[in-house]
């Protein structure tokens, strides 16, 4: 959910630049089931623009109406929404609507920290009393510093919804062909930070990759210095055996959550053979990370479908999810 918070803060930044007030909406508690779980958030501007969602659509219309009281009073409000008959989710939602009063400097600092992939803790204080809820609100903690969403927060005697948000997930795509462009655009919609790695002779710019945050053209010897770690995924898409081998040799000390390889299984074996030939001391834990062909079997044919297949496998691997149809899963859909 870190990417959702990042998106909301960027939107707040834009609304504030237009001298327009905003409120933050947080799903703090739930009885039964719902489309989304506690901790999801959305933003509503004074003019009625909504960014993000806390459910499937029906709840948001009611939230927009109730947010007007918060704009009028400047105080937080707790509302409830019974979805058992209207949404079919068999749940009662409790939502805190609070004014946002972050300064420009604090907003910029928080956004910079999120982009630097720091961990964020969010404590949302509230009383389970429907209506105006003075003193309730959210506090963000980053790098041991607290940032109050508004100035009237008083934690005493209130329930607290606690949430720890992991750093923004980052996907490193090695290659600058058409399928890299497609993967970057689709993966960015998940809120991932996308870094493109391309040889300098490709003569590409960041404008060629919609959704990408960064385009780098490091020498092969410099790839080992990239900030790739356990909250990262790597996808090799150079369409070149020699380039893939050189990139893999530079990455052997890295342990990202996922390393994907294009092409059939025998191409993966060939890459492994060459890596071990040049660097026989390579640890088995690195070899075991290499997934080729990358992706899951969904019958993908087009570049867009292949991108979805790859992204699905990355999600499954990073979340230790069993690949089955939801109709065959017992218990809750979302753990």
How large is the average pLDDT for residues 128-142?
94
From edge to edge, which strands make up the β-sheet containing 159-165? Answer: 145-148, 137-142, 120-126, 159-165
> How many of the other CB atoms lie within 10 Å of CB of 135?
16
Domains assigned to the chain? 2-165 (no CATH), 170-318 (3.40.50.720)
Q: Looking at the predicted structure, is the pLDDT value of residue 317 above 80?
A: yes
Q: H or E stretch including 193?
A: strand 193-197
List pLDDT tens digits, range 157-203.
899 999 999 888 999 999 988 999 999 999 999 989 999 998 877 77
From edge to edge, which strands make up the β-sheet containing 131-132? Answer: 50-52, 41-45, 22-32, 91-99, 77-82, 131-132
Total length of the chain:
335
The pLDDT value recorded for residue 305 is 96
Q: Report the Cα 313 to chain-centroid distance in Å.
A: 16
User: Whole-prediction pTM value?
Assistant: 0.79
Residue 210's SS3 state is: coil
Q: Are 253 and 285 in contact (CB under 8 A)?
A: no
Q: H or E stretch including 10?
A: helix 2-17
Q: Which is more confident, 244 or 53?
A: 244
**What distance in Å separates the CA atoms of residue 52 and residue 44, rounded to the nearest whole number?**
9
How large is the average pLDDT for residues 305-316?
96
How large is the average pLDDT for residues 288-300?
94
Using 50, 70 and 90 to split pLDDT, how confident is the model at 287?
very high
Calculate what percentage of the chain has a pLDDT beyond 70: 93
Selection from 120, 166, 163 nearest residue 318 by Cα: 166
Mean pLDDT lowest among 78-92, 176-190, 242-256, 309-323 = 78-92
List pLDDT tens digits, range 245-254.
999 999 999 9
Q: Identify the sign of the CA torsion 180, 2, 103, 23.
A: positive
The pLDDT value recorded for residue 335 is 56
Calculate what percentage of the chain has a pLDDT beyond 90: 71
Tell me how far apart the terminal alpha carbons of the chain are, to the nearest angstrom: 15
Q: Looking at the predicted structure, is the pLDDT value of residue 84 above 70?
A: no
How large is the average pLDDT for residues 88-108?
88
Q: What residues are paired with 187 via a beta bridge?
A: none
The pLDDT value recorded for residue 271 is 97
How much is the mean pLDDT over the chain? 90
Which bin fits 137, alpha (ψ -120 to 50), beta or left (φ > 0)? left
Using 50, 70 and 90 to split pLDDT, how confident is the model at 142?
very high
Cis status, amide bond into 293, omega within 30 of 0: yes
SS3 content of the chain, % helix, strand, coil (to 5): 35, 25, 40
């Amino acid at each position: 959910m870190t990417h959702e918070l990042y998106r909301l803060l960027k939107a707040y930044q834009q609304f504030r630049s237009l001298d327009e007030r905003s409120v933050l909406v947080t799903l703090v508690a739930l009885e039964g089931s719902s489309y989304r779980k506690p901790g999801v958030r959305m933003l509503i501007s004074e003019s009625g623009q909504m960014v993000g969602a806390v459910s499937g659509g029906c709840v948001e219309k009611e939230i927009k109406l109730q947010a007007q009281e918060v704009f009028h009073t400047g105080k937080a409000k707790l509302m409830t929404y019974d979805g058992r008959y209207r949404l079919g989710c068999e749940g009662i939602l409790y939502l805190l609507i609070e004014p946002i009063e972050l300064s420009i400097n604090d907003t910029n600092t928080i956004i910079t920290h999120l982009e630097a992939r720091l961990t964020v803790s969010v404590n949302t204080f509230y009383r389970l009393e429907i209506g105006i809820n003075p003193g309730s609100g959210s506090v963000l903690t980053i790098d041991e510093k607290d940032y109050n969403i508004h100035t009237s927060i008083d934690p005493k005697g209130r329930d607290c919804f606690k949430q720890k948000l992991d750093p923004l997930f980052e996907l490193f795509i090695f290659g600058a062909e058409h399928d890299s462009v497609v993967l970057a655009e689709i993966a960015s919609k998940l809120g991932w930070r996308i870094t493109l790695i391309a040889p300098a002779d490709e003569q590409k710019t960041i404008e060629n990759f919609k959704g990408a945050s960064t385009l780098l053209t490091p020498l092969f010897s410099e790839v080992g210095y990239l900030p790739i770690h356990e909250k990262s995924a790597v996808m090799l898409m150079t369409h070149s055996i020699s380039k893939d081998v050189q990139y893999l040799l530079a990455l052997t000390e890295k342990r990202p959550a996922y390393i994907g390889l294009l092409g059939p299984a025998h191409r993966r074996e060939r890459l492994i053979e060459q890596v071990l030939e040049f660097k026989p001391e390579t640890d088995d834990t690195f070899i075991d990370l290499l997934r080729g062909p990358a992706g899951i079997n969904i019958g993908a044919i087009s570049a867009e479908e292949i991108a979805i297949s790859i992204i699905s496998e990355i999600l499954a691997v990073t979340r230790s999810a069993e690949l089955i149809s939801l109709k065959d899963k017992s218990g809750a859909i979302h753990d």
